[in-house]
Amino acid sequence: MSKLIPAVERIKRARSLIQQARAYPIPTEGLGKSDLSYVANVRDLLRQAKDLVRFIPQTAGVSVEMKEEVKKIHAEVEQAQAEILS
């Protein structure tokens, strides 16, 4: 059985994944930012960040502040995707 990760830890990991996506090296040869491998890897990191916090708002006993943090994570993911891939 897998170990449950506390919500605070999930938020920290999600932010770390967003930073990894921002720091992912752009290919110097080929298509650059349009390289399919680059786009897929960045999107995968951002998807993982979203998946980590997806069910926190539906969990019983979660504070309003924690739900607001989840909304911020979703906004950060959308912003990062727009900045990195455009």
Q: What's the pLDDT score for residue 41?
A: 94
pTM across the whole model: 0.88
CB 85 within 8 A of CB 33: yes
Angle at 41 (CA atoms; ends 14, 35), nearest 5 degrees: 145
Q: What's the pLDDT score for residue 23?
A: 94
> Which CA distances in Å does 84 have to 15, 39, 52, 81?
15, 9, 20, 5
pLDDT digits (tens, 9 = 90+) for 3-27: 788 889 999 999 999 999 999 998 8
> Which CA distances in Å does 18 have to 2, 11, 29, 80?
24, 11, 24, 7
pLDDT digits (tens, 9 = 90+) for 28-78: 887 778 888 999 999 999 999 999 999 988 888 888 999 999 999 999 999
Q: What's the pLDDT score for residue 1?
A: 60
From CA 1, how far away is CA 4, in angstroms rounded?
Answer: 9
